[in-house]
Amino acid sequence: MKRLSLILLSLISIGFLYDKVSDFYSVPGTEPNYAGIQNDYIELCATCPPGFLLNEENKCISKNLYQQYESLQDAGVGGLKTALPKVRDGFSPQQVDLGRYLFFDPVLSKDGSMSCATCHDPNKGFSDGLSVGQGMNGSKLNRGTPSLWNVAYLKKLFWDVRASSLEEQMQGPLYAENEMGNTPENLLLSLNQIPTYRRLFAEAFPDREVNDSISLFEIYTSIAAFESSLISLNSKYDQYAHGFHEALNEKEIEGLNIFRSFVARCAECHTPPLFTNQQVAVIGSPEPDGLKLDPGAEITFNDPTRRGGFKVPSLRNIEKTGPYMHSGNFKTLKETVAFYNKGRGHAVPKNEKLYLHWHIWEPDLTDYELDRLVDFLKTLTDESFTPKVPVILPSAVVKQDKISS
């Protein structure tokens, strides 16, 4: 009976018990032909994305196997069967799907050249594959682009943890002159001029008048709803953690044991099951040659003890999101894990005094052990809930209408 329950919960967690689940994630060869699309063709999905169940209030509620375990709060580094942090859920299916259209639509940028997906590409782990991000006209940004997988569980956002919600975070790139370059006024003007978006927003927010203008609150809520649906919890590691021990091979299990050991201490900061403790850590990661030390969270907190400190990132889908560290200074996972093996403070500039995290020391791992760590990190890959990229966007419908006329 226990095994049957585990199988049923697993089916729910990977989306097999959801109707029309393919409306949300990619199924190759199922895309319809959108030639000659009309202004009223685009419709919002009325079912939740995989990993969520629809309740009587038309809200998508997160469901996964980790909910059967106790919280890791005040439990040290926790074990394999520990609960996830509180999740951001409760959006309607229509809000999630509207957010999907907005996320991939370059109309959100000042000149129509960039969408959220330009930097958070689903084919690159919802990152961009670059050492540091790029804004409009190829402008080079200061830090790497974090992945968006499992952001529904994060309490702080940006490398320097300066945002406390998805809504607050998205306003950074939306309105930064060197990123998407937009303004709130121009964003509202652009979207309100698109009839399809007017119709879709009225559907996603039915408590207001149909002819009301689109508001910033509705835009931010919709994008946050979509980003909160990006769940990755069905990796080989997850299957192993839930009791299917054949999911990992011998070398991967060796890597897991090294990861959780008090020698390597990886799990002290990259705590399962989210693989981050969501704290700021000063680890002395080097900047690219010729660049000054990035002060990081020192600016956020106005605290010199946080100088050079950055958010501990989740390691979910880490195999897909290189280069690594805030500066993108390490191209491979092997380089990254080797950094921690070279001694406390070895890369700190001589003129800098950093208050390094106490877990940073000299584990003296062998090359074989470093390889096993990399093997384990690759077991955290799960992109089974990758959402479908819209084939046509509301802004493109407007352009086509203008060409037709």
Q: Distance from first CA to last CA of the chain, Å, rounded?
A: 64
Peptide bond preceding 272: is omega within 30 degrees of 0, i.e. cis? no
Pair of tokens at residue 266: 């990886």
Computed on alpha carbons and rounded to an integer, the radius of gyration of the chain in Å comes to: 22
> Residue 4 has what pLDDT?
42
CA distances from 355 to 129, 283, 363 (A): 30, 9, 19
405 residues of the chain, pLDDT tens digit each: 444 444 444 544 444 333 344 455 443 333 333 334 455 689 999 999 999 999 999 999 999 999 999 875 555 566 788 999 999 999 999 999 999 999 999 999 999 999 999 999 999 999 999 999 999 999 999 999 999 999 999 999 999 999 999 999 999 999 999 999 999 999 999 999 999 999 999 999 999 998 999 999 999 999 999 999 999 999 999 999 999 999 999 999 999 999 999 999 999 999 999 999 999 999 999 998 878 999 999 999 999 999 999 999 999 999 999 999 999 999 999 999 999 999 899 999 999 999 999 888 889 999 999 999 999 999 999 999 999 999 999 998 655 444 333
pTM: 0.90
Angle at 258 between CA 255 and CA 262, to 5 degrees: 165
> Residue 228 has what pLDDT?
98
Residues 6+ apart with CB under 8 A from 333: 318, 319, 322, 324, 374, 377, 378
Pair of tokens at residue 78: 């926790």
CA–CA dist 88, 62 (Å, integer):
8
User: Is 361 strand, coil or helix?
Assistant: coil
Q: What is the DSSP letter of 134?
A: B
Pair of tokens at residue 336: 């990254």
> Residue 18 has what pLDDT?
36
Domains of the chain: 18-231+390-404 (1.10.760.10), 236-380 (1.10.760.10)
